[in-house]
Amino acid sequence: MRAIGLFTSFLFILSFFWHSISHNLARVYQKLYAVSHYDYQALYDENCKKEVNWHQKIFCLKEFANEEVMSFLQSIEEREKNTICLKRKRSVEESFFGNEKVVVKSMEFKGFFANLFRMGMGVNVWNNAELAKKINVAVLKPIALVEKRAWNKSKTFIIYKFEGKACEEEIKNSDSWFAKIQALEKLLTKKCLVHDDFRIKNIVLLDDGSLQLIDIDKLHLYPSKSVVFRARMRREVRKFNQNLLENGYRVKKLAFETSSPSKSILHNLMCLYRQIFMISSYGYVGINDPEVVKKLSRAEKIFCKKEYATEEMMQFLSEMEAKNREILWANFERVGSQVFLDGHHFIVKSIELKGYLPNLLRMNGATHVWNVAHYVKAKGVPVLKPIALVEKRAFSETRGWVVYLFEGKICNKSIDFTKIKELRDLLQKKKIAHHDLFLRNIVTLDDGSL
């Protein structure tokens, strides 16, 4: 009985502190994620002018990168600036790029180990602005970044155009801004994105009436339906409402809308099962198929259906990274493009997977597309079948391209719903989950099939 009493007490205490535990788990996850994704997104931005060495890195959008601006960035510490505010290791100052008024935010980190695995605040802001742009979340975009690094300290500067005004006063004068903030919070929840300091002071109103998030160095994206995300977001909404009260706004407050915990737990268990299945099914479908032309090595694998494997196509696949293609869309590490070869119109989807551990046991997304297309075809489920696959594997990065023949058109609301229902019933009968079953992911071929 004593053991049962102790165990019951332990469960009671755990439930009492569960919110804090979930929040701390979320912070640990965020730190580990930041370490494993140590990278400079600006290095790959073709719209940036760059000056890069170990001690100093400078990135500036080309539209602003004239000689005067680059000289300012090279000597940014010595340049005259007006201080707006100072807070611990952070400073906010204003200055000028020629006639352009700008805001300069800077932060310094000291200590060898503190800088070994940590990027500067400015780099995080730039990376997070790119992330937010990809998932259509409105943030104030920086125009330049400077990082100065020594063996025991680093200092970063992030530069913005001087635009917009703080919402702290606006929200007191009009309820219309509150509706926009509600829409912003719902968008963050939908995208599973946590701001980490979601307050009125970190939202600005631009001249066109749109709201933009600022102070985004700790912006973080969580997996869909994450239990840990709910704990973080609920806390941010609660603190935002407290912030409203402190600013004298007592009429309304934000409400955090989410699914029930049981549904999220079941969803996460399903996702875990799928990941384990992917690891245990690590392989390349078609490696022994006589109808597929193959070029195999550890660093590069190429598969192409024989009927399309012309000399021009095989050369295109071998030089996939260097070939120019018209970009159709970009989303996270996924990019869609089109190309014309041998009189055919092809769609090329590229998927990038970074990090040593993710690449150790997991195949690239493009390879999964190739494998799953063959798997469900054997099950009798109609999918658009790729005609070629390229996978390039390095120590900590894998890039994959899957090539489709351009055919069919995306379904719209006028599609015969009975056909959709038949497709849904077939997936249910075969026990196959598409995981993103929307009209945008269904095409109608010339013969009327889906």
CA dihedral 55, 61, 66, 67 (to 10 degrees): 0
CA distances from 328 to 157, 339, 347 (A): 33, 11, 9
- Angle separating helix axes 227-246 and 176-191, nearest 10 degrees: 160
User: Within 13 Å of residue 59, how many CA atoms lie on the same side as its CB?
Assistant: 22
pLDDT given for residue 395 in this prediction: 81
Mean pLDDT per 10-residue section of the chain, whose length is 450 residues: 57 54 68 67 86 88 90 88 81 85 89 76 89 89 90 90 76 69 87 87 84 87 79 83 71 60 64 71 80 87 90 89 80 80 88 77 81 85 88 86 88 79 86 81 86
pLDDT given for residue 84 in this prediction: 83
pLDDT given for residue 34 in this prediction: 60
**Do the bridges between strand 90-97 and strand 100-110 make them parallel or antiparallel, or are there none, so unpaired?**
antiparallel
What are residue 269's phi and psi, to 5 degrees?
Answer: -65, -40
- Which pTM does this prediction carry? 0.51
pLDDT given for residue 7 in this prediction: 57
Q: Which two tokens stand for residue 396?
A: 């900590």
Q: Does residue 154 contact residue 148 with C-beta atoms inside 8 Å?
A: yes
**CA 282, CA 292: separation in Å to the nearest integer?**
19
